[in-house]
Structure 1
Amino acid sequence: MKRGLIVTGGRRPSKELLESEIRWADGIICADGGYDTLAHVPEKLKLVIGDFDSSHRLAELKEKQVPIEVLPPMKDETDTEMAMTRMLEYGPDEIHILGGTGSRWDHSVATIFSMEAYLDEKAKITMIDENNRLRMVGPGTYAIEKLGFHYVSFVPVTDAITISTDGFKYEVDHLKLYRKKTRGVSNELLKDGGTVTLHEGKMLIIHSKDE
């Protein structure tokens, strides 16, 4: 599997975004209530995992013979983190997470920061919703495309980071950004693409647009 899609129980994507991601993926794992997002059961669905406290579909899943893994309600990881662990067992090059944001800030923030645990994995993990794409990265040079978004922000995860950019409205060379400051938010690409080099630290690369 090269491209894995995880659908969680957060904010539901639009029909267009969901169908686009299903076409993109080679395999799909749903975290608990994320199964309710699917209008049908794609052949690419590998597993539905969770404690099923937010989904009443357990009987339906068994009837449809969908592969399931039932987790205990009292556990150390969220359903989404367990879905990421299971997806990584397939050895994908990329993982997209749909539904990782929603009304529960605790789940949203926890999912974002749990991505740090997988920076050393081969897979590139990206959270996606209608208005945002978010990826956590370590030191390196990264190609940045517009992808239909207006803004690109670089947000430190560590106390401080040092970045250089090429192809952006606000160009910087070895600029130090601090986690407790907001500088680095709302840069813009001048053309269709550019690059950012992270010299030290860890950061979020966030594509965003207004509704």
Structure 2
Amino acid sequence: MALNQTEQFKRAVLLLPGAVNFDLVRMQYAQWLEDSLIIAVDKGIEKASFFAQGADLWVGDFDSSRHLEVDLACYGEKIPYPEDKDEIDTELAIGIALEKGVQEILLLGGIGGRLDHQTALLFLPFQYPNIAFTHSNGEQTLTYLQENQEYTIPTQKGGLVSVIALTKLSGLTLQKVKWPLDNFTLPLGRGLTYSNRALGDEVLVEITQGHAWLYNVMPEIDESL
């Protein structure tokens, strides 16, 4: 079914290439899966069958999906772009989401794979500072930390917790972890905030200035180098 051109959404789920544990996603993001704009990004169309209605939109240059056999029932509208362009496919999808009024975006997939693509996703909030980003494959989750907001982030006891700083951070507070921080100033490049551990089923985090992600991983997942 084609998307109503005037319909507005608060949330969007972007389906990216890469592995996703949808059983865990269903547990963690049930509400997102019911009332969000669903956009498949290029090869991310492989995940559209997870949704009863498929993806609302399929966006990209389709370079990585050209050999796929895609059922027309998997998406409502296909929006093609040339391979030679200034934006990555995810940026194009975000632009469409913004036109639909979206304020929160859940990126599903896109963890691992090409390092340049992964890095581009980490820096998306610099371009879209008013969007609340979450990036997950079900087992690993990144939550973008907007300034002067308190976050209570679900985790599991013993799960890995890292603050990935994209700039110098001021007023970093991290609680309910093995090594807590209170109003801490973190210089860019210091590894102090990596490989912490959750003490229970949630962690508390806040920054007053800077750009960072809170990365948390289920305790049984170990992808260390």
TM range (shorter): 0.7 to 0.9
Cα separation, 2, equivalents of 1:168 and 1:18: 23
Cα separation, 1, equivalents of 2:179 and 2:216: 15
Opposite residue 136 of structure 1, the aligned amino acid is: Y
Is it true that 1:13 corresponds to 2:23 in the alignment? no
Opposite residue 159 of structure 1, the aligned amino acid is: K
CA contact under 8 A between 1:136 and 1:204: conserved in structure 2? Answer: yes
Structure 1 residue aligned with 2:125: 115
CA offsets 1:173-193 (integer angstroms, 9 cap, x no match): 222212211111122333333
Give me the CA root mean square deviation. 2.7
Q: 1:29 offset after TM fit, Å?
A: 0.2
Cα separation, 1, equivalents of 2:59 and 2:76: 11
After superposition, residues 141-160 of structure 1 pair within 5 angstroms as 141-148=149-156, 150-160=159-169
Opposite residue 210 of structure 2, the aligned amino acid is: G
Distance 1:197-1:63 versus aligned 2 partners, 3 A rule: closer
Opposite residue 101 of structure 1, the aligned amino acid is: I
Structure 2 residue aligned with 1:163: 172
Cα separation, 2, equivalents of 1:76 and 1:160: 30
Q: 1:61 offset after TM fit, Å?
A: 6.1
Q: 1:194 offset after TM fit, Å?
A: 4.2
Q: Which moved more, 1:82-91 or 1:12-21?
A: 12-21
Cα separation, 2, equivalents of 1:90 and 1:33: 22
CA contact under 8 A between 1:31 and 1:48: conserved in structure 2? Answer: yes
Is it true that 1:182 corresponds to 2:185 in the alignment? no
Distance 1:116-1:135 versus aligned 2 partners, 3 A rule: farther
The match for 2:202 among 176, 180, 193 is 193
The match for 1:204 among 213, 216, 219 is 213
Q: Which moved more, 1:178-187 or 1:130-139?
A: 130-139
- Structure 1 alignment gaps of length 5 or more: none
TM-score between both structures, scaled by the size of structure 1: 0.83
Q: Which moved more, 1:62-71 or 1:133-142?
A: 62-71
TM-score between both structures, scaled by the size of structure 2: 0.79
Opposite residue 132 of structure 1, the aligned amino acid is: Q
Structure 1 residue aligned with 2:46: 36
CA contact under 8 A between 2:21 and 2:139: conserved in structure 1? Answer: no
CA offsets 1:102-133 (integer angstroms, 9 cap, x no match): 321111111111222212x2x42111014311
Cα separation, 2, equivalents of 1:116 and 1:126: 14
Distance 1:62-1:173 versus aligned 2 partners, 3 A rule: closer
Cα separation, 1, equivalents of 2:67 and 2:187: 45
Distance 1:190-1:141 versus aligned 2 partners, 3 A rule: farther
Structure 2 residue aligned with 1:55: 65
CA contact under 8 A between 1:134 and 1:207: conserved in structure 2? Answer: yes
Cα separation, 2, equivalents of 1:54 and 1:74: 14
Identity %: 26
Structure 2 residue aligned with 1:92: 102
Say how many residue pairs are matched.
Answer: 208
Q: Which moved more, 1:137-146 or 1:71-80?
A: 137-146
Opposite residue 196 of structure 2, the aligned amino acid is: N
Q: 1:146 offset after TM fit, Å?
A: 3.0
